[in-house]
Amino acid sequence: MIKPFGALAAVHAFVVRLATTHPQLPGPSISTHPYDTAELSLCLHSPSAVEAWRAALHVSHEAVNFKPHVSDQLLIDFTADVEGFQVRAFALFESAELAEAIKKVAAQQEEALA
């Protein structure tokens, strides 16, 4: 059953708390749902943005999933209970972006070992 707009007040207040507590996080496209007023979706622009949100929300690394999507795209996402809200953060990206990110991390590790 679709709930009235006012039923979304708590999840919207949660979004405001996130914005004021973590203003440095990458800006997401935000979706709330009138069927489940405790659900929040954050559509992000890159894997690093998903990682920033994961770390800020204290979500374990094990909660993060990588899945093939369409064509040459991959999906990275996590879903976690945060302050009583079901938060899903995700991003679609090209596999070439992942390869570039892996190269960057490998180079940083080599520098640290040198």
Containing H/E element for 29?
A: strand 29-32
Q: Which CATH architecture has domain 5-113?
A: 2-Layer Sandwich (3.30)
What's the pLDDT at 20?
98
Predicted TM-score (pTM) of the model is 0.81
Greatest Cα pair distance in the chain: 60
Q: What is the helix (H) or strand (E) element at residue 85, kind and residue range?
A: strand 85-94
Coil vs helix vs strand at 17:
helix
Quote the pLDDT of residue 99.
66
pLDDT category of residue 90 using cuts at 50, 70 and 90: very high
Q: What percent of the chain has pLDDT over 70?
A: 96
> Tokens 């770390």 belong to which residue?
55
